[in-house]
Each structure stands twice: as C-alpha cells, then as structure tokens.
Amino acid sequence: MSENVGLIAPTDGDPKTGYPLAADAEVWPGVPDPAALLAAIADWLAGYGNHATRRTYAEGLGLPVTAADLAAWVRTPSRPEPGAATTEAWRAAVLHYADALRLTGSTTTPTTAPPPAPRGRLRAHHWFRWCVTRGLDPSAATSADVKSWLDTLATANAAPATRDRMLATVKALYGYLADVGLVAGNPAALNRRRLGLATAASSTSGTVTLTTRQVRALYTAAGTPRRGASPLDTARAVAVVALFTLGLRVSELCGLDRADLHVTRGRRALRVLGKGGKTRVVYLSAPAENALLAYLKVRDTAAASGETTVERRTQQRHAPATPLLETRTGNRYQRQAIWQLLRRITASGGPELDPIAGAMHPHALRHFYVTTAVEAGAQLVHVQADVGHSSIDTTQQTYDHAARAPERSAVDLVAGSWFEPEA
C-alpha cells in the first residue's frame, strides 16, 4: 500500500526507528484493517488529557511518536490498491493519530514538559513491533501470544518492572479495544503474580537506602572542585544534589524552567510538573535554596562576561522556557546525564560513599526524602503532597488545589537532619 512504512518486519534496521523503510511493503503486516486499528488506538490515546502520557503509551507500544517517524505513514501510496477508499481511510487514521500525539502543525513550540527518554534497546520488542515480526494480527492476539511476547522480553533481559509496565500498557489498550468491540476480549488481562511480575507488598525496594551521613557526604563531594571543573560546574553539581534532597523525580528536575522558581507565601518554591501533568508546589529547604541561588548567580555572571556564549544565546532565544539547570552548552539536562553526574559525584565521595558508588541512582534521594521525613515525624499526607505521590489510602486534602503553607511541608525536617549551616 505504501512506498515507505512505519511498521514492517525488521531486517537490517533503520537507525532512527529500528526498522527498515523498504519499497512495496505493507503498511502494517499482519493487520487486515490497519486503518480501523490505528483509528481506535488514536481514540484511546486521545482519552488521556496529558499529551506526554499519550506519547509514553504510544512509544511503549512501538508506534511512531515523532513527525519524522510518521512521515512514512502519510506519504502518497505508490500503488492505489486495494482501493482509494481504503487509502483515504488509512490517511485519515494517520492524521487522527497525529492529532492525538500533537504531531501536526509546528513541532518547535517551546514546552515545559520533561524531556523524553532516548529509545532503548528493547524498541524492537515493543508489542506492535513484536507482532509485526511474527505476522500476527494484534486484534486476534491471544493470552498465549502475550505470554510468548513476555518470554521474548525476558530473554532480552528486560527487568521484571519493565515487563510489568509494558504489559500494563498493552492491557490498558486492549481493555479499550474490547469496550468498543474491536477485539473479543483482553488477552493481556493476566495474573501478574503468577508471571513473576508482581512482588509482595512487604518486599524491600531494590533502590539503595541512603543514610543521613551519606547524603551529607554526597553534598560535600558535589561542592569539592574536581580537576578540570569550572566554578560553574561545581555550583551546578551542588544544586543538583541539593534539589534532589527535596524528593523530586529526575524527570521533574530535568523539566524545571527558571520561571518555575518563585516566591509563594513568603517562601521560595518550585512549580513542579509531575506525573499525569499535575503541578505541585515544592518549597525549598535552606540548603537547596542556597545552592540553587549560588548556581544561578555564577551562571548569570559567566553569561554576562561572555564565558558561556552558547548559554547566553539559548537564553535569548528561549527566554520563556529557560531550563533551571543547564548543561555546559546551555541545553536542558537529559535524565541519563543527571544519572551520570550523580555517579561521578558518588565515586569521588570517599569511604562514606564507596559502598553505594555502583548503585547510586537519582531515585535513591527521593526514597531518602520520604523515609527520613516519616521517621522525623512528618505527617504522611504532607510527605505525599511534597513528592507528588498518588494514593488511594488518603483523603483528598483541600490544599491539593492551592499552594500549601510552608509549615505543611517536610522540607525543613529533612534538611535539618543532614545540613549543618555555617556558623
């Protein structure tokens, strides 16, 4: 149907999508009515209010998520068969899908959303792409097919949590497809515990548990000048560690803009865009405020003196969406770069950090915030609001829709456990 396609069986592999773009291939091998399936998927995605969530689900299913990827699906077919009506239905479905992911129109509008993660090694094993390699019609998939797919993921060394997350996405889609009558049932409605994907509620998290001494050592190591590091590099490292002690997710940290730093109720705070597009106010602790303001002062001084020309040009072009934390080249941080920075700081932290040097992860500091706040006596509902957790066990509080008073945050309790201000 189409000269170039978005989903075809892999051979050598295209460097962008993981699949070759060959001539005279089917639009979607194994799918008898690709237009109907794609239109239903677009309807399902459009049901989610946050477009970043839509993109995450589409990416998890193995579908195109960029305008470049979609270009192959919207080009004029080289062969008109099986009919103009079918061709137009397919084009309409592709445009509907593009609208759901906001891929139509300008793609250069500045955004405050966290930057997307780079495509991983499992891309070829995402559900629809796995189906393509087997010529399997997704609308006729059975539970046995889904189990076979999960086995493929396990063979590819996908972690249980990754398989669980990918299964949840497929299950959510098929639940919708069953509701609209496109499939007879939900083949992904499997018992996760029997599949080894669900752990007991009492199981200990795999994330390293940090002590207050280790966090203090990490903060100190970040502020210790490294060989070849500029004062701006050092200030940035301290700011990153200090901000993580507020319980932020790494995606939230990367997504922060300078405009998100503001004063509310007489206290400096960050406007954080969390999961599901929900925004919350995170008050700055004394060490976080000091580190962040020091970093911004050094950055502004360097920019004014011409030491960071790329950074200054970036600020001038995108002033409304200037990242709160910028790389040496003035760009927004990617999650992987933050992870690498924390690992480097940890590796230079000396004996106190040696035991965790190989296991340090941004989420460890988020865990530290929660556990330390609770142990210090903070109300659980306040901690939940601080870190942006959703919960079915707590009553919705009135402050969910307004900035909370500083005394209703646990930031000072946490900071006081490890930070010792200079005399």
Residues annotated as catalytic (active site), given as ranges: 249, 275, 363, 366, 389, 399
Contact 386, 373 (CB under 8 A): yes
Return phi, psi of residue 149, to 5°. Answer: -65, -45
- Cα 341 to Cα 107, 213, 216, 221, 365: the distances in Å are 30, 20, 17, 12, 14
| Structure tokens given for 111 | 């955004």
Which residues are bridge partners to 269 per DSSP? 262, 283
Contact 28, 63 (CB under 8 A): no
Of 339, 366, 314, which is closest to residue 118 (Cα–Cα)? 339
- Cα 270 to Cα 162, 239, 332: the distances in Å are 30, 13, 17
Cα 257–259–263 angle (5° rounding)? 125
Q: How far apart are CA 198 and CA 319, in angstroms?
A: 45
3-state secondary structure (DSSP) of residue 330? coil
Task: Specify the residue for token string 């932290």.
Answer: 349
| Structure tokens given for 266 | 């007489």
DSSP summary character for residue 267: E
DSSP summary character for residue 81: T
Ramachandran assignment for 75, one of left (phi > 0), alpha (psi -120 to 50 degrees), beta (any other): beta
> Across the chain, which distance is largest between two alpha carbons, in Å?
80
